[in-house]
Amino acid sequence: MTSRAEILAVAEGLSLGAGPAALAVDVGGTGMKAALFDAGGRIVDARTAPTPECTHSAATEVMDVIAGFHSAFADEHRDHPVTEAAVVIPGIVDEASGIGILSANLGWRNVAFRELLNERLNLDVTLSHDVRAAGRAEFDLVEDTPADAVMITIGTGIAAAIRVGGRLISSGGYAGEVGFTEVAVDTAEGLFRGPIEHIASASSIAKRYSQRSGTEVAGSLDVLDAVHAGDPIAHQVFAEAVEALAAMCAQIAAVVAPATIVLGGGLSGADELLDGVAAGLESRLDVHRMPSVRRAGLGPVAGLIGAGLLTRDVA
Amino acid sequence: MTSRAEILAVAEGLSLGAGPAALAVDVGGTGMKAALFDAGGRIVDARTAPTPECTHSAATEVMDVIAGFHSAFADEHRDHPVTEAAVVIPGIVDEASGIGILSANLGWRNVAFRELLNERLNLDVTLSHDVRAAGRAEFDLVEDTPADAVMITIGTGIAAAIRVGGRLISSGGYAGEVGFTEVAVDTAEGLFRGPIEHIASASSIAKRYSQRSGTEVAGSLDVLDAVHAGDPIAHQVFAEAVEALAAMCAQIAAVVAPATIVLGGGLSGADELLDGVAAGLESRLDVHRMPSVRRAGLGPVAGLIGAGLLTRDVA
């Protein structure tokens, strides 16, 4: 889980721009992060907490944690009274209505987070989607990004933030839910044909390696280490995931034609991933625009910074 | 090829809205269509011509035909002096720069149509893409269409017009070029894995039927007739095309999540196509938004009417 120190280290060099002092919260699958930004858009402080378990009351408990972040910042930083807040959550999120439509991992359906948080915090709260918020931060703050760009986050799940003509698209909250898109990939075990998350998510990479090698690994970064150590099974499993990602990126290119694809998530540190996806796209795209491929710059803090940026839109 | 009478019959009941008297031209793969609209946005007259062959000079010859349409209308309808024109062409079209980047079928690359036509016609000319223009007409004029909608034209090729948040997207001209997207479909001959156009375009349907049945057919509508006559091979070939289209629509749903998908092209008259794509989407989509599926209403005249609408944007 990302620590307070890591958040501060990444955010220190960034500015959201002027606006109200603001609370930003990123609700992740395992951990929640919060940041307090001052009127200059600089980070003042950060806090983290484990995400409540997936139960009937998860949404309420998540809001309890958010209220706790808010009062802790209020107590400790009286010189930065917060007047705006933005909360980003996973799953299907309708920004326009402020409703969390679905989170399979956290177990909620149709929760009016914005309205409930407005009352609870007595603040103007903006609700958005974690991956779209991360995309906003990557597109706006990291480097000059073309008006047509896509950021893909590869974690436990796979989702995309899609910017077209300089605007992030939402489509009622359903845009960029590419994790279940079907891909067909040749593998050492024959043709894989199924949802991209079953072959290329971080957890699937770890699972496929464990199954094929007989060696249990904790996560996809262990598989990457094994690739670097010359393990042929790790190499194969990783290459198959990369092929699947390239196939998915080619689908995205055919529909929205980004000029740049940004890859995020823990594995995006690997040159093999970036180069492999770029090569796979080169071999697949013909009449389409060939996007450049780069890695995300803000790591696990992108969603939190993106939430911070949303308090600037509102102002 | 669509006749003058057919154009007039479809366009008669429509209005583009008030604006300048305008020339609209749709450059198709085999035929060109032109319409003259009055200041009330009503059609005054229409003309057609064969599209010039694919040669080095095709672009110039296409512009000659357009100039011919213009002067014929000017001669015959002196009471409707044209001050705006819009031309829609196939291939990759960058509306912002007015350039036809590529047409594989007509053989041009990087032709500055807008600038050349501005000079040639001494008019303000808007350049756009045939399928995007057709989508505009279907979305704006046929029935109330949600802000997030996609129109897919199934003809010699397959391409999509994509509307997100009420705006058609272009992405430098490359958006919606879904014809080469890879799909994996079970067929009577084993797994098909390749570009959608090789299994589901009108020409591929005819070709696959001819090969499998040994009976040469002229086009996909003959295959559809055979389906209706109970021919099992025709049924199979058509069902495989429908499955491929559903797979492609599912990819599109994962990326831009339309609330409605409009199917156009000659085959879209078939209930089997619409019902089959809807059923295939139902079985593929889970967390995504399930789009409604409807057929296009303007038939082969949609691109021409869409071109007409572009003269209203400009005004």
DSSP string, B115-127: HHHHHHHTSEEEE
**Measured distance CA(B112)–CA(B29) in Å, rounded:** 19
Is the CA virtual torsion B108, B114, B115, B116 positive or negative? positive
Q: What is the pLDDT of residue A282?
A: 97
Q: Which residues of A touch B169 (CB under 8 A)?
A: 164-165, 256
**Measured distance CA(A200)–CA(B266) in Å, rounded:** 39
**Measured distance CA(B291)–CA(B257) in Å, rounded:** 8
CB–CB of A182 and B286 under 8 A?
no
Q: What is the pLDDT of residue A266?
A: 86
Q: What is the pLDDT of residue A315?
A: 40
Q: Which fold has domain A4-138+300-314?
A: Nucleotidyltransferase; domain 5 (3.30.420)
A248: nearest Cα among A191, A296, A200: A200
Q: What is the overall mean pLDDT for chain B?
A: 95
Q: What is the pLDDT of residue A30?
A: 84
**Measured distance CA(B261)–CA(B161) in Å, rounded:** 10
**Measured distance CA(A232)–CA(B258) in Å, rounded:** 42
- Report whether pLDDT(B101) > 90: yes
B62: three-class secondary structure by DSSP: helix
Q: Long-range CB contacts (< 8 A, 24+ apart) of B121-125? A: B121/B23, B121/B66, B121/B67, B121/B70, B121/B85, B123/B23, B123/B70, B123/B82, B123/B83, B123/B84, B123/B85, B124/B83, B124/B84, B124/B85, B124/B314, B125/B85, B125/B86, B125/B87, B125/B98
Q: How confident is the model at residue B315 (pLDDT cuts 50, 70, 90)?
A: very low
**Measured distance CA(B245)–CA(B251) in Å, rounded:** 10
Residue A6: both structure tokens together: 């890591």
- Report whether pLDDT(B1) > 80: no
- Report whether pLDDT(B2) > 90: no
CB-based contacts of B285, cutoff 8 Å, min separation 6: B250, B253
Q: Which of B99, B105, B163, B174 best tests the A interface by mutation, with the highest count of A CBs <10 A?
A: B174
Distance of CA B261 to the CA centre of its chain: 14
B127-141: pLDDT as tens digits: 999 999 999 999 999
A241: nearest Cα among A279, A201, A210, A190: A201
The CATH number for A146-296, chosen from 3.40.50.720, 3.40.50.1370, 3.90.1150.10, 3.30.420.40, is 3.30.420.40
CB–CB of B160 and A256 under 8 A?
no
- Identify the segments of chain A with pLDDT beneath 50: 315
With CA atoms as reference, the chain B residue closest to A259 would be: B171
Q: Which residues of B touch A172 (CB under 8 A)?
A: 148, 257, 259, 289
The verdict on domain B145-296 having CATH code 3.30.420.40 is yes
Residues of A engaging B, defined by a Cβ cutoff of 8 Å: 92, 102, 104, 148, 160, 162, 164-165, 167, 169-172, 174-178, 180-182, 184, 191, 193, 247, 250-259, 284, 286-289
**Measured distance CA(B13)–CA(A72) in Å, rounded:** 65
Secondary structure letter of residue B137 according to DSSP: H
Q: What is the pLDDT of residue A143?
A: 83
Residue B84 β-bridge partners: B22, B124
CB–CB of B164 and A171 under 8 A?
yes
Per the listing, tokens 């509307």 go with: B163
Number of neighbouring beta carbons within 10 Å of residue A266 = 16
Q: What is the pLDDT of residue B156?
A: 83
Q: What is the pLDDT of residue B314?
A: 52
CB–CB of A250 and B182 under 8 A?
yes
Q: What is the pLDDT of residue A55?
A: 87
CATH 3.30.420.40, chain B: domain bounds: 4-138+300-314, 145-296
Nearest to A256 among B104, B256, B259 (CB): B256
**Measured distance CA(A283)–CA(A247) in Å, rounded:** 10
CATH 3.30.420.40, chain A: domain bounds: 4-138+300-314, 146-296
ipTM of the complex: 0.92
CB-based contacts of A240, cutoff 8 Å, min separation 6: A185, A187, A188, A192, A199, A208
Query: Helices marked H in chain B — which ranges?
Result: 4-11, 58-76, 113-121, 130-137, 197-200, 202-213, 220-228, 232-256, 271-284, 302-314
CB–CB of B184 and A193 under 8 A?
yes
Q: What is the pLDDT of residue B294?
A: 96
How far away is chain A from the Cα of B159, in angstroms, using its nearest Cα?
A: 9
CB-based contacts of A216, cutoff 8 Å, min separation 6: A210
